[in-house]
Amino acid sequence: MMGWESDADTPLCFEPNATYASANNAPSPEIPFLLKSPGFTLRILLTDYLDIMAIPRRSFFSNIAHYTEDPMHKERLLEFANPEYIDEFYDYTSRPRRSILEVLHEFESVKIPWQNVCTVFPTLRGRQFSLASGGKLKTLRSLPGDSPTNSGTRFDLLVAIVKYQTVIKKIREGVCTRYLAVLRPGSTLKVQVQKGGLTSSMRQFLEPTVLIGPGTGVAPLRSILWEKAAMATTYREKHGLDVPVPIGPIILLYGGRNRRADFFFEEEWEALKDVLDLTVLTAFSRDQKQKIYVQDRIREHTRLISRILHDLGGTVYICGSSGKMPQAIREALIEGFQEFGQENKSGERKKYNREEAEKYLMDMEKVGRYKQETW
Quick one: average pLDDT of 111-118? 91
Look at residue 76 and tell me whether its pLDDT is greater than 70: yes
For the entire predicted model, the pTM comes to 0.85
Residues 347 and 214 in one domain: yes
**For residues 326 and 304, what is the distance between their CA atoms, to the nearest angstrom?**
20
pLDDT-derived band at 3, boundaries 50, 70, 90:
confident
Q: What is the CATH number of the domain that holds 268?
A: 3.40.50.80
**Per-residue confidence (pLDDT) for residue 136, from 0 to 100:** 86
End-of-domain residue from the set 120, 149, 177: 120
Domain count along the chain: 2
**Per-residue confidence (pLDDT) for residue 158, from 0 to 100:** 94
**Per-residue confidence (pLDDT) for residue 276, from 0 to 100:** 96
In terms of pLDDT, which residue wins out, 110 or 341?
110
**Per-residue confidence (pLDDT) for residue 222, from 0 to 100:** 96
**Per-residue confidence (pLDDT) for residue 138, from 0 to 100:** 81
Residues 215 and 332 in one domain: yes
Residues 98 and 242 in one domain: no
Look at residue 35 and tell me whether its pLDDT is greater than 60: no
| Assigned domain for 163 exists | no
320-371, pLDDT tens digit by residue? 998 899 999 999 999 999 999 888 777 788 899 999 999 999 999 999 999 9
Each residue of 42-72: b (16+ CB within 10 Å) or e?
bebbbeebbbbebbbbeebbebbbebbeeee
135-180, pLDDT tens digit by residue? 888 876 655 555 555 567 888 999 999 998 999 989 999 999 999 9
End-of-domain residue from the set 80, 99, 120: 120
Domain enclosing residue 55, as ranges: 5-120
| Assigned domain for 113 exists | yes
36-49, pLDDT tens digit by residue? 556 788 998 898 88
Q: What is the CATH number of the domain that holds 74?
A: 1.20.990.10
